[in-house]
């Protein structure tokens, strides 16, 4: 009889915990727009080192070549034999 009472208490605790998780999970996804997936971004390759990164994070030179940082743009301008 004691084990039956313990199992009943555990089952009630698990039921309450699952219900709170379900309520909390559904309210955060519907009210929080930051959890929505963003649109895919175009990926490009750095002309100097070959790193792939989103096009919005690149640095371009006067000829339109894209780099991952201003330092790589500067290094590529100094070394004409770079990639």
User: Residue 29: is it exposed, middle or buried by C-beta count within 10 angstroms (0-12/13-18/19+)?
Assistant: exposed
3-state helix, strand, coil split of the chain in percent (to 5) is 55, 10, 35
Average pLDDT along the chain = 86
Categorize the per-residue pLDDT at 25 as very low, low, confident or very high, splitting at 50, 70 and 90: low
Global pTM reads: 0.52
Residue 62 gets which letter from DSSP?
Answer: T
Q: How do strand 43-45 and strand 59-60 relate by DSSP bridges?
A: unpaired
Rounded to whole angstroms, what are the CA distances from 54 to 25, 44, 59, 67, 80? Answer: 31, 6, 11, 11, 25
Q: List the chain domain ranges.
A: 2-31, 43-78
Categorize the per-residue pLDDT at 37 as very low, low, confident or very high, splitting at 50, 70 and 90: confident
């Amino acid at each position: 009889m004691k084990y039956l009472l313990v199992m009943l208490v555990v089952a009630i605790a698990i039921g309450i915990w699952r219900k709170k998780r379900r309520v909390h999970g559904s309210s955060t996804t519907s009210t929080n727009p930051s959890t929505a997936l963003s649109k895919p971004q175009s990926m490009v390759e750095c002309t100097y080192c070959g790193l792939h990164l989103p096009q919005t994070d690149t640095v371009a030179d006067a000829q339109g070549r894209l780099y991952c940082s201003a330092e790589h743009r500067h290094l590529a301008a100094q070394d004409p034999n770079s990639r």
